[in-house]
């Protein structure tokens, strides 16, 4: 079966006055129909850049290479006009900050109408009202609130409205960029419930961009871990959480405060993300990696397959197979 | 609350803070009673020396207001705040400023709590200048050693940087350094880690724990993230709509949350384990408006266990198995 979305060798550079920022460097992954994948990593590792690149919403100073195939069509090659038809109807996106992503001087209704008119210029008002009411209902907001302004909504309701807007045209894929980051736990749980429900009832594929591995565990079935623009590891959620292969994944998982675990020892990743204007040579994680070897500092590790997962680390494969048993047991 | 008063550093008694609302002048002329937002409605608690008390709850539950009232960034409506056995709720402005040397605050947003035009060395030594501690050379010495303690290394280089040149985590380190530079006894940390990334969050939590042990501090740790609270707090107070609904030792609270609201908060925390499928109670709706507080127990509108009595009578904070909880389910009167 052909994948719904296939990203191949995607690289994105930002040209800035002080040099080129290599935000995303040669990443590949695919999303099948009804899949939901989580794109995780620290701030600045290129997750949002990847997400926005899918919809062609990058700022003008971005240079993109590689390909993004959606249902076999390369989204990087089609015209703006065609891309506009894809947005909202085939792929939609929810942004991080619900406070600023709605227009404060437009009624909620008009947000929906604008979207619907862009795709179906001849649709009549009753039809549009019907669709918007349905969408609002599916995220748990009374359709009577269509006449309200965004300021009359709380943060959680605004984020629901954003989701309703994103799913109004029944897209086959939803990209959610940190949908719950600015909300508190209870509201976050409500939003996750809405997303979970949508996944079940509307058969939507989802790309969830987040740094919260707890949220990822609740919602997705595949995880792509990114570090400083590189794809560190990808695979299904159970095996990654059970036995992380890449040292970064392991460190990231250990650094989350967990309410369920008994032990109260706090672990964290020492150091911080490298400067992407001149990233470290070789593997980008080596300055923070406890298993660093000489080769890590010289050459970029290849992406190898281990137990059906992809991992980009010298500990697995490459010419130094000799040490693999010893080191992999040290990792696990 | 039966704690020997000898070790108590801060004790809050019947603290209230009501914010009056603006009403149209026509109604003001008619001398209608002004509606108020009951941000804090009669809370009492103690913090012992060297202890970390967590204050958790949803947005809008009054956590931040509590933190600010305690160090009198906001004036309380009524109630007493005893700090080291001295009532600071009545201090004059000048005396308060002097007293502030002993209690400081770490703010939530490291982007907004540093002056963008001030070099961070200056920012951190500013409190020393205000309290007239040391000579300029001594101050600089103190700031440099502090920078090293909070891991802003090389300290000399950081001394002359501007906030815009720092990352979020580094800025929060600066904010922490500024809070401890006057050798305070007590620190209110208001969502100190909420704006940070997971891995940085753990770094900052670790730093706060280390600094606390180093300098013998006492914290009031305000957060909505129960997972972080678990690592740093000795006791946790759960707030809902201006009231404390439960206070317990961290281990007890996590082992068995008593109040239905605590259970819901607990259940809402995402757990980084995909195999765990929990049965969840998700509360309906959002926190009610603090202008029209529900009658009886404030939580009854969202509580899955609500009975008739809950909407009629307000439960008291009573002792149950050595912890305090305000719920009719546990009120054995």
**What's the mean pLDDT when you consider all of chain A?**
86
Q: Which of A42, A96, A153, A189 to mutate to test the interface with B (most CBs of B within 10 A)?
A: A189
All structural domains of chain A, each given as residue ranges with its CATH number in brackets, are: 5-90+171-331 (3.40.50.300)
Question: What would the two tokens of residue A50 be?
Answer: 């990847």
Euclidean distance between CA atoms A85 and A92, whole angstroms? 11
Q: Could you tell me if B254 and A257 are in contact, meaning their C-beta atoms sit under 8 angstroms apart?
A: no
pLDDT band at B187 (very low <50, low <70, confident <90, very high): very high
Give the number of beta-carbon pairs within 8 Å between A and B: 121
pLDDT digits (tens, 9 = 90+) for B123-139: 999 999 999 999 999 99
**Local structure of residue A73 (DSSP, 8 states):** E
Euclidean distance between CA atoms B265 and A77, whole angstroms? 47
Nearest to B198 among A155, A157, A211 (CB): A211
- Cβ within 8 Å of residue B304, ≥6 positions away: B260, B281, B283
Better pLDDT: A77 or A272: A77
Torsion of CA B49, B243, B254, A218, to 10 degrees: -130
What pLDDT does residue A110 have? 94
Q: Which residues of A touch B272 (CB under 8 A)?
A: 213-214, 216-217, 241, 253, 256, 258
Q: Which residues of A touch B283 (CB under 8 A)?
A: 186
All structural domains of chain B, each given as residue ranges with its CATH number in brackets, are: 8-270+285-325 (3.40.50.300)
- Given CB atoms, is A18 within the 8 Å cutoff of chain B? no
pLDDT band at A326 (very low <50, low <70, confident <90, very high): very low
- Cβ within 8 Å of residue B272, ≥6 positions away: A213, A214, A216, A217, A241, A253, A256, A258
Euclidean distance between CA atoms A187 and A193, whole angstroms? 10
- Given CB atoms, is B82 within the 8 Å cutoff of chain A? no
Nearest to A185 among B169, B230, B265 (CB): B265
pLDDT digits (tens, 9 = 90+) for A282-320: 888 988 888 888 888 888 888 888 888 889 988 886 544
Q: What whole-number percentage of chain B has pLDDT above 90?
A: 45
Chain A contacts in chain B segment 14-53 (CB below 8 A):
none
Residue B33 parent element (H or E): none
Q: Measured at the alpha carbon of residue A72, what is the angle toward residues A67 and A74, in degrees to the nearest 5?
A: 35
ω before B275 within 30° of 0 (cis)? no
What is the phi/psi pair of residue B90, to 5°? -110, 0
- Given CB atoms, is B280 within the 8 Å cutoff of chain A? yes
Q: Could you tell me if B186 and B103 are in contact, meaning their C-beta atoms sit under 8 angstroms apart?
A: yes
Q: Is B163 helix (H, G, I), strand (E, B) or coil?
A: helix
* CA distances, A98 to each of A45, A159, A295, B195 (Å): 22, 5, 45, 16
Nearest to A241 among B58, B270, B274 (CB): B274
The complex's ipTM works out to 0.75
Name the residue of chain A whose CA is nearest to B224's CA: A184
Q: What whole-number percentage of chain A has pLDDT above 70?
A: 93
Rg (CA), chain A: 21
**Mean per-residue pLDDT, A111-119:** 92
Strands A230-236 and A309-312: antiparallel
Residue A34 parent element (H or E): none
Strands B78-83 and B8-20: antiparallel
Task: Let me know how many helices (H) and strands (E) chain A has, helices first.
Answer: 11, 12
What pLDDT does residue A1 have? 58
Long-range contacts of B123-127 (CB under 8 A, 24+ apart): B123/B163, B123/B174, B123/B178, B124/B174, B124/B177, B124/B178, B124/B181, B125/B181, B126/B178, B127/B101, B127/B178, B127/B181, B127/B182
Q: Which of A250, A257, A285 to mutate to test the interface with B (most CBs of B within 10 A)?
A: A257
Question: What would the two tokens of residue A91 be?
Answer: 């792929």
* Helical residues (DSSP H) of A100-184, grouped into ranges: 108-119, 125-138, 155-167
Q: Which residues of A touch B228 (CB under 8 A)?
A: 257
pLDDT digits (tens, 9 = 90+) for A119-174: 999 999 999 999 999 999 888 888 999 999 998 888 888 888 999 999 999 899 99
- Lowest model confidence (mean pLDDT) among A80-89, A108-117, B32-41: B32-41
- Given CB atoms, is A264 within the 8 Å cutoff of chain B? yes
**Mean per-residue pLDDT, B306-314:** 87
Residue A36 parent element (H or E): strand A36-40
Q: What whole-number percentage of chain B has pLDDT above 70?
A: 95
> In the beta sheet, which residues pair with residue A230?
A227
**Local structure of residue B202 (DSSP, 8 states):** H
């Amino acid at each position: 079966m052909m994948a719904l979305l296939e990203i191949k060798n995607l690289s994105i550079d930002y040209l800035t006055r002080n040099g080129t920022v290599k935000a995303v460097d040669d990443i590949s992954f695919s999303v099948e129909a009804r899949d939901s994948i989580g794109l995780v990593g620290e701030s600045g590792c290129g997750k949002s850049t990847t997400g926005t690149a899918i919809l062609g919403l990058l700022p003008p100073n971005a240079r993109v290479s590689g390909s993004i195939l959606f249902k076999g069509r390369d989204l990087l090659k089609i015209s703006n006009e065609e891309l506009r038809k894809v947005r909202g109807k085939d792929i939609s996106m929810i942004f991080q900050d619900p406070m600023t992503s709605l227009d404060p001087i437009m009624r909620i209704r008009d947000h929906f109408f604008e979207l619907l008119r862009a795709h179906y210029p001849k649709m009549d008002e009753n039809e549009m009202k019907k669709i918007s009411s349905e969408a609002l209902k599916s995220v748990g907001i009374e359709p009577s609130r269509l006449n309200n302004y965004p300021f009359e909504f709380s943060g959680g309701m605004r984020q629901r409205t954003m989701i309703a807007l994103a799913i109004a045209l029944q897209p086959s894929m939803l990209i959610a960029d940190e949908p719950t980051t600015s909300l508190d736990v209870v509201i976050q749980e409500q939003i996750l419930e809405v997303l979970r429900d949508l996944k079940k009832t509307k058969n939507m594929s989802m790309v969830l961009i987040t740094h919260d591995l707890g949220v990822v565990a609740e919602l997705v079935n595949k995880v792509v871990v990114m570090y400083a623009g590189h794809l560190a590891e990808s695979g299904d959620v159970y095996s990654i959480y059970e036995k992380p292969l890449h040292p970064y994944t392991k460190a990231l998982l250990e650094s989350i405060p967990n309410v369920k675990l008994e032990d109260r020892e706090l672990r964290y990743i020492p150091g911080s993300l490298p400067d992407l204007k001149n990233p470290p040579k070789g593997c980008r994680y080596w300055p923070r990696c406890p298993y660093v070897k000489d080769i890590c500092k010289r050459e970029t590790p290849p992406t190898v397959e281990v137990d059906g997962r992809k991992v980009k680390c010298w500990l697995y494969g490459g010419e130094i197979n000799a040490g693999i048993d010893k080191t992999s047991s040290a990792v696990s | 609350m039966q704690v020997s008063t000898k070790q108590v550093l801060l004790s809050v008694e019947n603290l209230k803070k009501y914010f009056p609302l603006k009403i149209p002048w026509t109604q003001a002329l008619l001398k209608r009673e002004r509606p108020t937002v009951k941000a804090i409605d009669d809370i009492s608690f103690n913090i012992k020396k060297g202890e970390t008390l967590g204050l958790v709850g949803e947005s809008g539950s009054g956590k931040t207001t509590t933190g600010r009232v305690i160090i009198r960034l906001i004036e309380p409506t009524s109630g007493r705040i005893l700090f080291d056995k001295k009532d600071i709720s009545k201090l004059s402005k000048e005396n308060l400023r002097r007293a502030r040397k002993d209690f400081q605050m770490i703010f939530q947003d490291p982007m907004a709590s540093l002056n963008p035009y001030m070099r961070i060395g200056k920012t951190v030594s500013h409190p020393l200048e205000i309290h007239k501690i040391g000579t300029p050379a001594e101050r600089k010495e103190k700031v440099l050693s502090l920078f090293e303690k909070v891991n802003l290394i090389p300290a000399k280089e950081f001394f002359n940087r501007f906030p815009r040149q720092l990352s979020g985590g580094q800025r929060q380190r600066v904010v922490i350094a500024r809070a401890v530079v006057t050798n305070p006894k007590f620190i209110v940390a208001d969502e100190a880690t909420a704006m940070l990334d997971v891995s940085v969050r753990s770094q900052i939590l670790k730093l706060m724990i280390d600094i606390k042990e180093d300098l013998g501090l006492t914290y009031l740790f305000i957060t909505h993230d129960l997972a972080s609270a678990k690592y740093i707090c000795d006791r946790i107070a759960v707030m809902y709509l201006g009231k404390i609904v439960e206070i317990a030792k961290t281990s007890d609270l996590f082992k068995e949350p008593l109040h239905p609201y605590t259970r819901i908060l607990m259940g809402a925390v995402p757990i980084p384990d995909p195999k765990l499928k929990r049965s969840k109670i998700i509360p309906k709706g959002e926190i009610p408006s603090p202008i029209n507080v529900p009658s009886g127990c404030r939580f009854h509108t969202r509580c899955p266990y609500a009975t008739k009595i809950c909407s009629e009578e307000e439960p008291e904070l009573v002792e149950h198995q050595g912890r305090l909880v305000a719920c009719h389910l546990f009120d054995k009167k």
